[in-house]
Amino acid sequence: MGEIYLDNSATTRVCREAADKVMEIMTETYGNPSSLHTKGFQAERELTAARETVAGMLGVLPEELYFTSGGTESNNLALFGAAHAQRRRGNHIVTTAMEHSSIMNTMKQLEKEGYSVTYLKPDKEGKIRPEQIFEAVTPDTILVSMMYVNNEVGTILPLEAVPQAIADANAPALFHADAVQAFGKIPVKPKKLKIDLLSVSAHKIHGPKGVGAFFLRKGVRIVPRAYGGGQEKDIRPGTEAMPLIAGLGAAVKALPDTAEEYAAMKKLSTYCRKRLSEIDGVTLNSPEDSLPYIVNFSAGNVRAETMLHFLSDKEIYVSSGSACSKGKESRILTAMGLPKSRISSALRISFSRYSTAEDVDGLVDALKEGLDSLTSKPL
């Protein structure tokens, strides 16, 4: 049957365009962008080109875009940077109970520093209601941070409600969005949604690991997390990781048309849901209107880790939740209030443009076999 890779929310296979660009920069255009010679100028042009490409995809100015090591650093830079810059204007922060660990653990640290954090709880479909945001934002709120798309169940959060909630409360809050799972899959336009800070990552869109981008709206001030030689206008100093940055630019250039790809993924997701619903004991955890790239389901009374290894032995790769959780019981599904039996048996399928209906068929056949042959203690 061959390998079936359905864990693209954890990471993606690097596309040929990005891999070739990384190799080119490492072996040919390898100068330091700050060097005042030809090799340096060549590298600087590559840096500028990558910045313009990513900025263009986001619909922002190139000077509003900064390169980081990935989504986690971008999220930390946004949260600490905004909170520390705003500390004299209040101490209240609003987020959700279904954020990525790079947000949740940063929030815990900010609470230790004296900030008050409100965590909006999702419903049983993993959705946050706009009314929750309006109720949570107060005149003391200095930051609202919400993910664009949930990484485990694929729900799309109501970011459009945040600017109005901030305005209604007359709050000084900045608005941050973690768009790591949304970028390249649906239109992500921070200016349209009045987002002040936004995080994206390369390795979720067939780019290299170790690089991401951070949007900081012109005129917004944050406190940097590091200090150095002035690169990235002192927001994120340090010699630029040019092979990775250029690889991110190449991956963005190679992205297919967003609307066409979304339609293809919707068709594949619908087919996957249909096939999964044919299996006794399988329950879907992702709602119908979630991002079609992600399908979360619970498989009978077989523990997720047991089924994951069964599938892996057949070269079928899925996950039991966020890759960062290392197999721990899903914090997201727990926040949704799902029964322990469903949480313990939950698996996540995540598609990419390389995924096919044949992949789904192979997975479903293996799942049926696994449910028939595996034994498990009652959950």
Are 284 and 276 within 8 A, CB to CB? yes
Nearest to 2 by CA among 266, 298, 354: 354
3-state helix, strand, coil split of the chain in percent (to 5) is 40, 15, 40
| Catalytic annotation, residues | 324
CA 345, CA 130: separation in Å to the nearest integer? 30
- Give the type of residue at 213: A
E strand or H helix at 332: helix 331-335
- Give the type of residue at 218: K
Are 204 and 183 within 8 A, CB to CB? yes
305's tokens: 């880790």
Nearest to 143 by CA among 179, 106, 97, 176: 176
Return the CA Rg of the chain: 21
CA 74, CA 214: separation in Å to the nearest integer? 6
Ramachandran class of 59: left when φ > 0, alpha when ψ lies in -120 to 50, beta otherwise: left
Are 252 and 203 within 8 A, CB to CB? no
- Torsion 5-10-15-21 (CA) sign: negative
